Structure 1
């Protein structure tokens, strides 16, 4: 049996982690720029363990942050990420990594695709699941247009007839415009706070070089009515955020945005569009993504240990929920709601 050495590492700066983060099983959410954007925005310190073979070559890795707040101390891999699959295919390597990473009784939560080596670990239990969708870009634009659902093709045509225009932008101002849409959608449709603008700006700073951060803005009669942020890592283009103005959905701007994202992926030589995580209790979103994706899998949430909240921690959770409802009331200006998200969102991980 191969003898492994497990070493501590910074997943943002360690070149061995970067090699793993561009290899099999890796994703945007285990990439150094993504981890750095999350940690800079929320004040986390990233940690990782890397397994080395006898020649000193990295053969596996696992990254997380320690969250310490009024809810208690816990480990998260990784907060505010769709998933953060351990970068390992061999269960014994995963066992060695978790042995080195987890100390004491700290609860660990991680999200991974349903083929991860972590799922077979008896120390972890599944506590949730979500849908994942992907569109392989293994054909030209015309072929991909034929593959998407007939409803999507009709909606793309309808958006064109309505005069919807989609601009592909790489500048920071476009990110800020999109964030305004994002705040409005989460507030008025879901009564939720949005992640701070600083997080979106940090993502842009990490990914804009080489055109890897794209903001698609759909306009009608000069008004921005929908948008999305796409990020590139390795050879995959990721749909990360999307938002639209409900009053203009009849013009089908979201379909125009999705189709533009697929076209951009083809132009850039990507192999896949990753449409990300969709909660199973949002069947409308799952159904919308199914119109575009030919691949569907599950993202599984795993947890170790038992996390017993003290009464004051439970009270904090209730008060945070009530505060969210107050700050997303329609009478509250959107700017105030956005500022509240910047102050409070870190407590939602």
Structure 2
């Protein structure tokens, strides 16, 4: 049986059947599209417990610059999307490589649903003649991990994909947010207010200013800026700005910009995305005020959690186990985020699958060589 990509017997507009794969579960049809914009898919993700902005068509709009391609696979039941995934493909010197970030998103957390979608991802990878496929399941998708390993995926450790984060509970009012923040950070927030630090929301005209602050911060931290260009930031801004899903805030003192913070709202979550600040502004505490303001904004927007977007995994593991942090961990860039409280969360790691046995062996050798350099500590959160 070939999956039909049909809705109640009518072909889905813009979708085509995906051939060379297992049949859809009873009562469902499969369809695939290469169209970038897809409001129906985004609405499904926004209402799903595992839906995240990295799987949205808006994220695809922001990434597609002529080098990236989009493939979206959906399972329909009774005319409604039940599950699926979005795959972003780009050319490399090794061939075309695809990424499914925070997907797939299944119709249930049971093994058959995960298995069906992962099989579909491999089927699509074969159809597209991909050299490699990288999958990081959604944050609550730990049940996908044994399925990935059973399908021949191996743990990905060279791309340094974020695999832990810090979540802040937004229940209650602004007073409750302030109460949850540890006392010393409450002091810093009030210091910033007393010293005359003021906040403003930015617009598209402020993107060059934001990017330069972020770029200079990355230079000081000796990491490559990501996004790597002002143009990419602008595309992401335009993709998410409709409906107020993207927020860019600046902290200023006496007319001088000190710091910036961006946030993306999707579903019941606000993610603190990228930031930057000047090197001489720390005594005014602009970042503390920006983060507190972002938490209050996220709460006003109706979000349930604010995702600080990254945390070193070894730090998250230590905190969850109740172990004291080492001196090196306490001095890491993550200390800023930890100062706001919140709870550490371990995320499913990324996995990679190769069509070529030669590439599979080469990757394992590269991973072995990386392990000899030292343990992977992750990118940290900055701040």
Contact 1:60-1:94 within 8 A present in 2 as well: no
Work out the CA distance in 2 between the residues paired with 1:206 and 1:75. 21
Shift of 1:231: 1.7
Report the equivalent of 2:95.
Answer: 72
1:295 aligns with 343
Q: For the structure 1 residues 99 and 66, does the alpha-carbon distance in structure 2 shift closer, same or farther, using more than 3 Å as the test?
A: same
Does 2:283 align with 1:250?
Answer: yes
Q: 1:100 to 1:269 in 2, by over 3 A?
A: closer
Which of 292, 299, 305 aligns to 1:266? It is 299
Greater mean alpha carbon deviation, residues 259-268 or residues 160-169: 160-169
| Structure 1 counterpart SS, 2:187 | helix
Q: Which has the larger radius of gyration?
A: 2
Q: 1:4 deviation in Å?
A: 4.2
**Contact 1:158–1:252 (Cα < 8 Å) also in 2:** yes
- Does 1:57 find its partner at 2:77? no
Q: Are residues 211 and 120 of structure 1, via their aligned partners in 2, closer, same or farther at CA, if it must alter by over 3 Å? A: same
Aligned mates of 1:93, 1:106 — CA distance in 2: 25
1:162–1:251 CA contact under 8 A, matched in 2? yes
Residues in 2 aligned to 1:101 and 1:301: alpha-carbon distance in whole angstroms: 15
SS at match of 1:62: strand
The DSSP-based 3-state class of the residue aligned with 1:6 is strand
**Aligned counterparts of 2:72 and 2:231: Cα–Cα separation in 1:** 25
The 1:172/1:270 distance shift into structure 2, 3 A limit, reads same
- Alpha carbon RMSD of aligned pairs, Å? 2.6
Q: State the distance in 1 between where 2:169 and 2:225 align.
A: 33
CA distance in 2, matches of 1:31, 1:125: 25
Task: Please say if 1:87 is aligned against 2:87.
Answer: no
CA contact (8 A) 2:156 2:352 kept: yes
Shift of 1:176: 2.3
- What is the match of residue 119 of structure 1? 145
- Is 1:50–1:97's contact at 8 Å kept on the other side of the alignment? no
Q: How far does residue 142 in structure 1 lie from its aligned partner after superposition?
A: 0.4
Check 1:9–1:19 CA distance in 2 against 1; reply closer, same or farther (3 A cut).
farther
Change (3 A) 1:297 1:201: same
Q: 1:266-299: CA deviations, max 9, x gaps?
A: 2222222121123447953333222324232123
- Aligned residue for 1:198, secondary structure, equals helix
Counterpart Cα distance in 2 of 1:110 and 1:293 = 30
Greater share of residues in strand = 1
- Equivalent pairs counted in the alignment come to 304
Distance 1:16 1:106, change over 3 A: farther
- Choose from 116, 131, 136 the match for 1:96: 116
Listed one character per residue, the Cα deviations across residues 176-235 of structure 1 (whole Å, up to 9, x for unaligned) are 211110111112331524511111111221122232221111112321111111122233
Structure 1 alignment gaps of length 5 or more: 79-83, 315-349
TM-score under structure 2 length normalisation: 0.72
Offset of residue 87 of structure 1 = 1.0
Question: What's the TM-score, normalizing by structure 1?
Answer: 0.78
Verify: 1:220 aligned to 2:253, yes or no: yes
Map 1:202-213 to 2 at 5 A. 202-213=235-246
Helix, strand or coil at the partner of 1:203:
helix
Specify which structure has the higher proportion of helix.
1
Task: Give the distance between the partners of 1:165 and 1:14, measured in 2 at CA.
Answer: 38
| Gap regions ≥5 residues in structure 2 | 1-24, 316-328, 367-383
Corresponding residue SS for 2:188: helix
Secondary structure (helix, strand or coil) at the match of 1:211 reads: coil
- Residues 262 and 273, structure 1, Cα contact 8 Å, conserved in 2: yes
Deviations 1:279-328 (A, max 9, x none): 447953333222324232123222224645879xx9xxxxxxxxxxxxxx
Q: Which has the higher contact order (CA 8 A, sep 6+)?
A: 1
Which residue, out of 176, 180, 183, partners 2:215?
Answer: 183
